[in-house]
Structure 1
Amino acid sequence: MSLSSLCGRISDRTACLVLGFGAFALVGVGVVLGEALRLNPCPLCIFQRVLYLAIGCGALIAAAGRPLRPWGLLIALMAALGGIAAAGYQGWLQWMADPALECGFGPPNLMEQTVEWLGERWPRLFLATGFCSSKEWVFLGLSMAHWSLVAFAGYVGVLAAVARRSLGRS
């Protein structure tokens, strides 16, 4: 069975539910992996966590039904595109390894302020303690930022396909 025929058999609601719960699962895996390996998430890591949560919420809104589906898909797709930007930037920082480009130098930007605010309220999930250029975890030659980039790109592709199929029927 090919991927396109499998995707054709899955309803839009089911696809949105899988995407939403998958995004929440990625956050859970990130938290557990961080705790188990004593990793120090940076502000960009935490911001990507927030974007995964936004994808999950958007996908669940889209799964709720027809009137909300376009809005939920838009939220999830915009969060996934933002994730590509954040993970791509973090991957570039890790490749460049220039301390002058590091997060936290200079006045905090809006993303850093948001992460700091979230970290004060829910430290177990959002406390940033690491450096953005640090590669503390590497699997198959890719850092966590690079794997996150792959995941966000996958979300963009699947969300775009679901949106095209779902909204094309309107």
Structure 2
Amino acid sequence: MRLSTRQAFVILASASLGLVAAGYFLGEWARLQPCYLCIFQRLLYLLLAGLALCGVLLPRWRTLWCVLIGLTAIGGVLTAAEQSWMQYAPERVVECGFSDPTLLERIVDWFGVQWPAMFMVTGFCTNKDWTFLGFSLANWSVIFFLVLLCAAARLGCRRKDDKCPLFR
């Protein structure tokens, strides 16, 4: 199956929105309490979806959208890796929200006021309440952000009108 640039961007947007939905519903089902870093990652997935939708609407700017998606995915990798570290060594870190609010915490708090059901912080970043195959949600998020980064890089590096299998 060969994908056009628009189709590839639709897949990136769908994957990002699917991850947001899966995280939200898993949190509701398992009664997980999201922390600042969890919610920030959710915002980054939504930003990735928005950028990918821009790629659907303006595919001629493919390189720009792929660079912005890549940078956002790198931010997601770093955020999820920080949370993974906090879960691995909770005694070595200062918990989010216990000092003056950082820019990240202010952004998350603002979204929490706007849409509390989706963005309200109720948990701690050091908690590892749910695992699957030995990985926490933060660990899985690192993997998913890396996959999205690789997909954006692959899409951004392909030739202009190359319709190759799966982002080639």
Q: Normalising by the residue count of structure 2, what TM-score does the alignment of the two structures yield?
A: 0.90
Structure 1, unmatched stretches of 5+, are 1-5
Q: 1:161 aligns with which of 137, 145, 154?
A: 154
Secondary structure at 2:158's aligned position in 1? helix
Secondary structure at 1:29's aligned position in 2? helix
**Aligned-partner Cα distance in 2 for 1:87–1:168:** 34
Match of residue 56 from structure 1: 49
Q: 1:104 to 1:164 in 2, by over 3 A?
A: same
Residue identity (%): 39
Correspondence 1:133-144 to 2 at 5 A: 133-144=126-137
- Tell me the CA shift for residue 69 of structure 1: 2.4
Runs of 4+ aligned structure 1 residues displaced above 6 Å come to: none
Given residue 95 of structure 2, which amino acid in structure 1 is its aligned partner? Answer: E
How big is each residue's C-alpha offset from its partner over 1:34-74, in whole Å with a ceiling of 9 and x where there is no partner?
11111000000000000000110111111223343233222
Match of residue 148 from structure 1: 141
1:124 equivalent in alignment to 2:114:
no
Q: 93-102 or 135-144, which moves further after superposition?
A: 93-102
Match of residue 78 from structure 1: 71
Structure number with the higher helix fraction is: 1
Secondary structure at 1:103's aligned position in 2? coil
Q: 1:35 aligns with which of 28, 31, 40?
A: 28
Does the aligned pair in 1 maintain the 2:10–2:53 contact within 8 Å?
yes
Given residue 14 of structure 1, which amino acid in structure 2 is its aligned partner? Answer: Q
Does the aligned pair in 2 maintain the 1:23–1:52 contact within 8 Å?
yes
The one of the two structures with greater contact order (alpha-carbon pairs below 8 A, sep at least 6) is 2
**Aligned-partner Cα distance in 2 for 1:112–1:18:** 30
Q: 1:107 to 1:158 in 2, by over 3 A?
A: same
Alignment length (residue pairs):
162
**Aligned-partner Cα distance in 1 for 2:70–2:24:** 23
Structure 2, unmatched stretches of 5+, are 163-168
Given residue 29 of structure 1, which amino acid in structure 2 is its aligned partner? Answer: A
Let me know the Cα RMSD of the aligned residues: 1.6
Q: 1:69 aligns with which of 59, 62, 68?
A: 62
